[in-house]
Structures are given as C-alpha cells and as structure tokens.
Amino acid sequence: MATARSLGALLRLLQSPSELQDAFALLPTATGLLSILGNPMNISLLASQLLVAPAIWDHAVDLHTCRKILSVFNTAAMAIIRNEESDDPRIPYTKPVKIEREAWVKAIVNGADEKSPRWRHLLLIGGVLLGFEGQDRQGLPLSVRKKLESALVTAAQLAIEELDPHNKIDGLCITMVLNYTFQLLSDFERSKLNYDRLLPVMIDAAYSSPEGLEGGYFLGTIDKDIVEAPGKRFQWPSESDTFARVAAISSSPLISVLGPLSRLIAHAVENVQDPGLVARSVDHIADFVRTLMVQWRLNKLSEVDRAEEAEFLDAESLKATIPSLWKLLRNSLYSVVIILRAVLGRVINDRILAANRSAPFLSMQALHILRNLYFITSRIGSNSSSQHIFVTLTAVDILSQYPDLSENFLRSIKPNELGCIPAHPLERYLDLYFLNTSELFTPVLTPKVSEELLISAAVPYLPAGGDNNLLEIFEAAHSVVLAVFAIPGNALLAAKHLPFYIDNLFAVFPENLSIRQFRLAFKTVLQVTAPPSPIANTQRHLPSILLEVLYDRALHASNKVLPQRAESGAESGTSQTPPLSEQAALTLSLIDGLSFLRVEDLEEWLPLTAQLINTIRESEMRAVCVERFWEALSSGEMDVERACYCVAWWSTKGGRELVLIGNDPGTAESDHQGPYMSGAVAPERESKL
C-alpha cells in the first residue's frame, strides 16, 4: 500500500506544472519505484508518464534533461540486477514482490507508447539496454537483448523519419543515445540504421549545435574576458563567464564523449549510400574549422607565441584556464581527423567518388581543413597521431596524381607575403604548414613553381635558427629547400641556389644549427651534386669545390666543445658520442660526403681527410672521427669501385699510417711516440680497428 501511495503521489506531481529543478528532484523517487514495483502495469504507467510528464517536458528541453531521463531507466535496470543478487533485504518483513527480469523489461518497454514522441522512446530503451548490458554486465538473456537492440534501432529509425525541422532536440537526443549504445548493438542491427539521414544530423549536433562545439564561435567570445594582469601579462580568470562556457561545452553530453561520437560519425561516413553526403559532410567540417581559425585570430591569446607563454601569460591562466581550452581544442582536432580518415578511406574504396573526380577535391579540402587546424596541431606535433599522418599522406598521394590541382592548392595556401616573416604567430603557423606540406609535393612540381613558391617561402627562415620562436619553421625551411634540390628535374634550380644555401649553412652553424642538422644538410647537398645527379653532368667538380670550402672552414674552426642541444644530446646519448667541437663536426661532415665522390676525387680527398683528422688535438674527438672514417670506408657506404680503391689506399698506399699516425709522428700524442715498424699502429687504436 505504501508503494502504491508513493506511486500515486509521484504521478500527480509529474502531471502538475512546476519548476524544472523541482521536477528533477522527483527523479530519484521515480528510479526507486521502477526498481521495486511488482505490478507490470504500474511499471509501464510510470515509464510512460516519465516520457510525457508536463513537469519535465513543458520547459525548454536540452540534452542535460534528456540524459537525466535516460539515467533514470539506466539506474533502475542496474538496481534490478542488484536486487536479484541480494539475498538479505534491508527490512525482511517489507520485502517487495519480485518480478522476473524479462517481464520487467517488457513492462518498461511498453511504456514507450504513442503518447510520447519516438525520440523520447530512445531514452527509455537506451537506458534499459545500458543498465543491463553496459560495462559487460550481461544482465539479459540473449533473446531479450536482441529484442531490446531491435527495439532501439526501430525507434531510432522512426525518430529519424519524424525529425522536427523547428526543434533540433530530437536529432540531438538521437545522436546522444546512439553514441552511448552503439557499441552494444550487433552488426546486423547497425546495418539497419539509415545512415543517409543520420549522418547530417550527427555532424550538425557535434560541430554546429549549442549542445556541441557551437560552430567554433565560442573561441572568439573568450577575448572579452582576457584582461591585463600585473606585470603586463594577459590573464583569463577562472571566474569569467567565458571560461564557464568552455567548461560547460567540455562537459556537455556530446562533447564529453567526442571520441566515440567521432568514431560513430566516421562509421556513418563509411556506410552512407549517397556519396554526395560525404562531400557535404566535409563541407560542413570545413566551415567549422575555418570559423574556428578566424575566431582564434580574433582572440588576444593568439598573439602570444607558444615559446613566449611563460613571459606574457599569468601563472593562474597557465595553470587553470588555458590548459582546459587547449584540451577542448585538441579533442576537436582529433575528432575532425578521425572523420577525415573515414572520408579518405571511402574515397580510396568508392568507385563512384573516383569516377566523378571527387577524389582530388575531397583530398584538397582535407588538406585545407588540416591547415586551418594547424595552430592546434603545431602544439602537439603532426606526427603524434598515426591517423593524422594517414590523412595527410593519403590526401597528398591522391592530389599528387593531378599536378595542376596540386599547384593550385599550393598557391592557395602560400604565405600572404613571400620573402618576409610575418609578425603574428598564427601566420607563422600557417607558413610552417605550407613548408611541411609543400615538401611532400616536390616530386610533381615544375622547377618554376618550386622556385616561385617553395624556395621563396623558405628563404626568409633559412637564417632564423637563433630565434626560439622560429626554430621549427627554420628546420622546415631547410628541409623543403633540400627536398627541392634533391629532385632530378631541378638540377638547374639547385645549381642556381646552391651557393646562397651553402653560404647560409655556414653562417648559421654552429650557433643556430645543431651538428646533426648541419651534417644532414651538407650530406644532402653533396648527394645532389654528385653522380648520377644531372648537376654532375654540367658541373663535374662541384662536389670537390664544396668539400674544399668545408675543408678550409674546418682547418680554421674552433676546437672548443660545442654546447649540446636537446636533439643532438639525445642523439649522442644513444650513440655514446662525446661532445664535439666545431672542427670535429666539420670533419665528420667531410667524412660523410666521401661516399659520393668519384674514384679520381677520392685519390685526392682521402689523404686530405686523414690530415684533417690529425689536426684535431682532443683525443676523444679524434677517435670519433677515426671511427667514422673507418666506418665510411668499410661498412658498405661505398659502391664496389670506390670500396676497392679505399681498401688499396688503406693497405698499400699508406692510408692506415696517415690516419692513425699522421705525416709527422710528433703531432700525435706524446704517449704514442716511439719507434714503430712500417705499418705499425698504436695498440689502443689498433684494438678499435
């Protein structure tokens, strides 16, 4: 009787108009009653009333309200499992009449009747399915679970067909429930969903709706709460309205589970019947990321370079508010990349998209999207995500099949002012994206385009290694120039720009260029100029000229130990190489280039290299150079003809003595002096060879 009276009172309160918070206060009671009622008709009645109650639904409904109703059925189902597993009731003489689990599920589902709209039925069915089967609970017999899955998909299908164009809560609710329950559905039930109707709804819910990412406009509103703190630093207070809004977006029912939602959207992209929906989805995402970048540009925070944040942002913002913002932006980036991976996967496998030449345009659009998100990517690294790498390389591979479109794309994203470094950090991030992406297109670009776009964009950054704000772009600029030089068709272009590049290379080393970077750059230049490169046909002696410049620089270089950079320190840590001087580094660079020389040039440069090694006074550095020299001669870097000459030079032409002792034994270390037979080596050096 007490239960019946409680049910009657609850139903009356649900039928009475009231404040929404008062209605929410009734939900725990409803949850408890659903789990203890023994009469199936009462269970169905209460379930039905929860889906139509004026106290709940006669208000502006959002996803938080929908999630609370779903939670009622979810929690009640979990309580049914706990009640059946418990043998010790709290009050034995008031033990409720139990109802069989299958009968309880049937009674609950009967509450999803014609009195309530179809989309609310998803809250009931989805909540019950989550309660019994979520987190691997396996609370239902297989037959009942299959019926429940089928009922959920049927309700979703009918709800999609009845979407209200004037009230988007139904589409948002469908998206939320399917996102929560999709992993519980069998492949057969998933195949019954109408993805052509579902995909646009989910895309809009995730990226444009007030329950999602708001079209990216939230990012621009932050600017009004960015104030100047003591010490002339920017501050974004944690008490501000805009931070509260960012926190609310991050915790919303859709964005808090943006990863699974993105995978659900990706699944829909892979299964839509109309290929045109794929292109329209990409258009929608492109609009979102374009708005996001523009809104970031309007934000004062975008004026602070990542390397300068500690200097220009206050400690509270760096600790509390700004990390929350970047977490939301990072999740948005990952979400977009997941969907683009599905889009490009569809492009690769869909004959219709390939036949109507949509593939290059979708690839181009994907690259534009990645560019607009690069202010986020640059903070975490474009190589940190395998899916991001896949999207980039796949889009480039597809677009590279159309050289004219590739050129048009690069012209559309080239720096606004070629030949100068922009002052705004966002513009520099876009320049970085251009350099990194254009490098991938170098095999399909004409020399004219490579010079006009790539070389011109890279030139301002080539000497910029000393600026911490430009370090990453500096490295990208050197990389793209070397990539242009390495293309066989760019021989004349490489010959034209090599003198400037070499001068710049020596100008920035060692102050602004690490040893590893210098060695790699110089080795690449030598490889470009040596046979079988076309440059070698017209400028036969160019490799020797470059080595002469390097040799002269090494003879007069400092023997002071260079400071270890982070990257070179990591590199040396793996190979246990001691710190090196500028002279030793240049000597190693010369040794790296020996494998590219003709045999007649080796006849001149092997003795010169040996003499240069012996000008290094520090024994550890000299030992590193000797080992590298021996490695270059014997480890297979040389081809057969070069290797044969090197063996003869080492064994019969005095090469071993020249390397290990030098022309004048007095130049060797004092403890190595003494009478040696012809061809003898110092014991400690002999052991290394």
pLDDT digits 0-9 by tens, 559-618 = 898 887 655 333 333 344 678 999 999 999 999 999 999 899 999 999 999 999 999 988
Kindly tell me if the per-residue pLDDT of 222 is higher than 70: yes
- Average pLDDT on 96-100 reads 68
Residue 674 pLDDT: 43
- What pTM did the predictor assign? 0.87
Domain residue ranges in the chain: 1-85+97-192, 194-358, 550-559+581-662
Going along 307-428, which residue ranges are E strands? none
513 sits in the region (left: phi over 0; alpha: psi -120 to 50; else beta) called beta
The residues that bridge with 313 in the sheet, in sequence order, are 234
Q: What is the pLDDT of residues 183-210, one digit of tens each?
A: 999 999 999 999 999 999 999 999 999 9
516, two tokens: 């590893």
- Average pLDDT on 304-332 reads 92
Residue 685 pLDDT: 41
Q: What is the pLDDT of residues 1-38, one digit of tens each?
A: 568 788 888 989 888 887 888 889 999 999 999 989 88
* pLDDT above 70 as % of the chain: 91
The 8-class DSSP code of residue 682 comes to -
Residue 38 phi/psi, 5-degree rounding, is -105, -15
Residue 2 pLDDT: 67
The residues that bridge with 235 in the sheet, in sequence order, are 227
Residue 537's H or E segment, with its range, is helix 535-538
Give CA–CA dist 101/113, Å, rounded. 20
Residue 91 pLDDT: 43
Q: In 10 A of CB 115, how many CB atoms?
A: 11
Residue 569 pLDDT: 36
Residue 20 pLDDT: 85
Q: Is 614 exposed, middle or buried (0-12, 13-18, 19+ CB in 10 A)?
A: buried
Cβ pair 373, 288 in contact under 8 A? no
Kindly tell me if the per-residue pLDDT of 327 is higher than 80: yes
Residue 121 pLDDT: 96
The 8-class DSSP code of residue 565 comes to P
Q: In 10 A of CB 220, how many CB atoms?
A: 17
Residue 577 pLDDT: 60
- Average pLDDT on 382-388 reads 87
pLDDT grade, residue 216 (50/70/90)? Answer: very high
- Average pLDDT on 393-401 reads 95
pLDDT grade, residue 260 (50/70/90)? Answer: very high
C-alpha distances out from residue 654 to 135, 179, 242, 647, 678, Å: 75, 75, 76, 11, 10
Residue 562 pLDDT: 86
Taking alpha carbons only, the member of 516, 542, 552, 656 closest to residue 597 is: 542
Helix (H, G, I), strand (E, B) or coil at 227: strand
Lowest mean pLDDT among 20-29, 142-151, 645-654, 663-672: 663-672
Residue 660 pLDDT: 85
Question: Nearest-5° angle of CA 294, CA 300, CA 303?
Answer: 85
Across 321-332, b (16+ Cβ under 10 Å) vs e yields bbeebeebbebb
Cβ pair 146, 187 in contact under 8 A? no
Kindly tell me if the per-residue pLDDT of 487 is higher than 70: yes
Residue 343's identity, in one-letter code, is: V
Q: Give the list of residues 6+ apart from residue 680 with CB closer than 8 angstroms, or none.
A: none
Residue 235 phi/psi, 5-degree rounding, is -135, 135
Residue 676 pLDDT: 47
- Average pLDDT on 641-662 reads 88
Q: What is the pLDDT of residues 504-556, one digit of tens each?
A: 999 888 888 888 889 999 998 998 888 888 888 778 888 888 999 999 999 99
Give CA–CA dist 401/444, Å, rounded. 8
> Both ends of the chain: CA-CA distance in Å?
97
Helix (H, G, I), strand (E, B) or coil at 229: strand
Going along 113-173, which residue ranges are E strands? none
DSSP-assigned states of every residue in 475-486: HHHHHHHHHHHH
Q: What is the pLDDT of residues 659-683, one digit of tens each?
A: 888 765 444 343 444 444 444 454 4
Across 191-211, b (16+ Cβ under 10 Å) vs e yields eebebebbbbbbbbbbbbbeb
Q: Is 451 exposed, middle or buried (0-12, 13-18, 19+ CB in 10 A)?
A: middle
Kindly tell me if the per-residue pLDDT of 94 is higher than 80: no
Cβ pair 509, 463 in contact under 8 A? no
Lowest mean pLDDT among 247-256, 269-278, 481-490, 572-581: 572-581
Q: What is the pLDDT of residues 71-91, one digit of tens each?
A: 999 999 999 988 876 655 554
Residue 664 pLDDT: 53
23, two tokens: 């209605």
Give CA–CA dist 347/354, Å, rounded. 7
What does the mean pLDDT of the chain come to?
A: 88
In which residue are the tokens 């106290």 written?
55
* pLDDT above 90 as % of the chain: 65
Residue 172 pLDDT: 96
